[in-house]
Amino acid sequence: MSQNTLLLELTGVVKEYPASPEPLRVLHGIDFSLDAGECAAILGPSGCGKSTLLNVMGSLDLPDAGTTRIRGNDIAAMNAAELARLRNHEIGFVFQLHHLLPQCTALENVLIPAMVHEHRDRAREQALRLLERVGLRERRHHRPGELSGGERQRVAVARALINNPALLLADEPTGALNEEAATELADLLLELRRERNMAIVVVTHARDLAERFAPLYQLHGGRLERRE
Ligand code: ADP
Ligand code: MG
């Protein structure tokens, strides 16, 4: 994929949640764009709307006003099947809490997003390669309860990458980790970004993490402001 290709574009994005007496407006008109292979970090305190914004970026949620475009395509114009395909093939998600299925092994968890594929053997090989890459091949038959917090997040990263997404969205990916594991996970994400020419957006309330994924934006009052 060539550089300077517009991958993600949000224009005038407004997002509200139903509330009484009036809706809670969380995003007040967000403009944001990200080229293929680029990073961005979005910083803001708890409750300011970071997860809401990331869900809109990842097409998990539609804006109430404004548009989300991925590779120039307005997601509001897509049908359910097109959206599911887009999410599955273009976007990987990593959350604060790993969201792994507790009854499944590391390998099975990594394979979940690839289960719809016809090429099961190829998907399994790819999952094993990814587990190797994140340093967990030997742990492939372990369940999440048998792994450390950092190891669980590395499985979650491998799962996010199984379909080779162009965009990785990470919501407080190190929020549940100790300092050492958090640094390791950030190192891993940045290495993977270089290796795969993948774009990454990290949202976090931790400034030191955000700075590693610069350029940095502050989410404040429902608007994004570029920071140094
Ligand atoms: P952050 O990720 O920065 O902590 P969120 O995006 O989760 O912030 O939430 C932003 C605001 O929207 C908060 O005030 C939260 O309580 C509210 N909120 C989030 N999700 C919902 C929902 N599904 N329904 C109603 N209010 C919500
Ligand atoms: Mg959040």
CB 160 within 8 A of CB 168: yes
Number of continuous H segments (helices) and E segments (strands) in the chain: 7, 10
Q: What is the pLDDT of residue 116?
A: 66
Q: What is the pLDDT of residue 199?
A: 98
Ligand having the closest approach to the CA of 26: 1
Q: How far is the CA of 47 from the centre of ligand 1 (A)?
A: 6
Give dist(CA 95, CA 222) in Å, integer: 21
Strands (E) across the chain are located at 6-17, 24-35, 39-43, 65-70, 73-74, 91-94, 167-171, 199-204, 216-220, 223-227
CATH of domain 6-227: 3.40.50.300
Strands (E) across 56-122 are located at 65-70, 73-74, 91-94
Give dist(CA 20, CA 110) in Å, integer: 41
Q: What is the pLDDT of residue 121?
A: 86
Give dist(CA 57, CA 62) in Å, integer: 9
CB 4 within 8 A of CB 35: yes
In this prediction, the residues of the chain whose per-residue pLDDT falls under 50 are: 1-3
Give dist(CA 47, CA 34) in Å, integer: 24
Q: What is the pLDDT of residue 117?
A: 65
Give dist(CA 47, CA 52) in Å, integer: 9
Ligand having the closest approach to the CA of 42: 1
Q: What is the pLDDT of residue 1?
A: 47
Give dist(CA 81, CA 96) in Å, integer: 27
Q: What is the pLDDT of residue 118?
A: 66
- 51 CB less than 6 Å from ligand 1? yes
Give dist(CA 29, CA 54) in Å, integer: 14
Question: How distant is the alpha carbon of residue 64 from its chain centre?
Answer: 21
Q: What is the pLDDT of residue 13?
A: 98
Q: How far is the CA of 204 from the centre of ligand 2 (A)?
A: 8
